[in-house]
Copies of this chain bind each other. A is one copy, B any other.
């Protein structure tokens, strides 16, 4: 709860620091904030802001930099979210226009575009089997030894798996089993299909035990697909940030970016916050490697169903207004696009 002038000063300071990456002096703020007061006055206000823990001084005779709490105040109350230029929006929409591009490639390109437009690192997770609903299963005969299992989900995801064909099972028996399975599981979220759901099928078709087991293995979201459908863009951009010139800092971050599982949790966690777009700043992050980073995330969805997540990772000194605006736009476009591709 700052007074009007302190807010102006904090805003000017944060924005100047975001641009220059240099501690900001009272003179620069006086020039930029439009508060119409002299640097000396600004200095008094800055001392107060420092008292409140919103700004800090790297050392006595330097300017001020925003603290984590300072950024938080800025993000929550001061920044004006940037509207994207129409041309930019059009560019993104073009990206999605080609229906012949498979979903995986779409997600990958999104990560690329986001990282290029921000000069930060982009994370995009595509639709995941575990979040989708069961629609239908098919078994195709590939040759004498193998069957192809095809799993269709309500989102239009397709999962295939090659199985060794269990001997001595007539095709009709198999078909009946599949039919039973399909009617039993239709519409169920795959994440919740557990062993006991297949119990009755197993009892009904005892000769197809191994087949049912294979099916369970395919349906069940497993660690084997960790990293599947998660794309990064612009990891090298991290090196461009002046705050990451120290290699120790960046090594931790890059190592973290290789851990698909962790990234996934990161995206899902922050995106389940009550807000539309979540911003996690510096020390608010759970992983110590990320304490110099901020992460902006959002889920994209349509028709009440979450398809996936997008996120931008950059330094605390991130262009929040730009990034939030961009995420908001891409979240919309991507959700809409995946809805278009979804099966009716």
Given contacts A108-B227, A225-B102, A227-B108, contact A235 B251 (CB under 8 A): no
Residues on the B chain within 8 Å of A138, using CB? 140
| A258 and B245 contact, CB distance less than 8 A | no
Partner-contacting stretch, out of A155-163, A193-201, A279-287, A329-337: A155-163
Residues on the B chain within 8 Å of A343, using CB? 142-143, 145-146, 162
Interface of A is mostly: mixed
Q: A226 vs B108: C-alpha distance in the bound complex, in angstroms?
A: 10
| B160 and A150 contact, CB distance less than 8 A | yes
A215 contacts the other chain (Cβ, under 8 Å)?
A: no
Residues on the B chain within 8 Å of A100, using CB? 217, 224
Given contacts A136-B142, A142-B343, A258-B234, contact A224 B102 (CB under 8 A): yes
Q: A42 vs B203: C-alpha distance in the bound complex, in angstroms?
A: 81
| B254 and A239 contact, CB distance less than 8 A | yes
Chain B, Cβ-Cβ closest to A226: B105
Choose among B102, B143, B235, B236 the residue that contacts A344 (Cβ–Cβ < 8 A). Answer: B143
Choose among B152, B227, B239, B258 the residue that contacts A148 (Cβ–Cβ < 8 A). Answer: B152
A18 contacts the other chain (Cβ, under 8 Å)?
A: no
Given contacts A156-B162, A161-B102, A235-B254, contact A140 B150 (CB under 8 A): yes
| B143 and A224 contact, CB distance less than 8 A | no
| A158 and B148 contact, CB distance less than 8 A | yes
Choose among B224, B234, B240, B258 the residue that contacts A235 (Cβ–Cβ < 8 A). Answer: B258
Q: How would residues 137 to 176 of chain A score, 1 for a CB under 8 Å from any chain B CB and 0 otherwise?
A: 0101011111010101000101011100000000000000
Q: A343 vs B163: C-alpha distance in the bound complex, in angstroms?
A: 11
Residues on the B chain within 8 Å of A101, using CB? 224
A21 contacts the other chain (Cβ, under 8 Å)?
A: no
Kindly provide the distance from the CB of A313 to the nearest chain B CB, expressed in whole angstroms. Answer: 14
Given contacts A102-B224, A160-B158, contact A251 B247 (CB under 8 A): no
Choose among B152, B224, B236 the residue that contacts A258 (Cβ–Cβ < 8 A). Answer: B236
Residues on the B chain within 8 Å of A144, using CB? 344
A228 contacts the other chain (Cβ, under 8 Å)?
A: yes
Residues on the B chain within 8 Å of A233, using CB? 258
Kindly provide the distance from the CB of A343 to the nearest chain B CB, expressed in whole angstroms. Answer: 6
Residues on the B chain within 8 Å of A105, using CB? 224-226, 228
- For chain A residues 297-344, which have a beta carbon within 8 Å of chain B? 341, 343-344
Q: Which residues on A are within 8 Å of B, measured CB to CB?
A: 100-102, 104-105, 108, 136, 138, 140, 142-146, 148, 150, 152, 156, 158, 160-162, 217, 224-228, 233-236, 239-240, 245, 247, 250-251, 254-255, 257-258, 341, 343-344
Given A105-B224, A156-B162, A236-B258, 5 other A-B residues pairs in contact with their CB atoms under 8 A: A140-B140, A146-B156, A148-B150, A162-B341, A162-B343
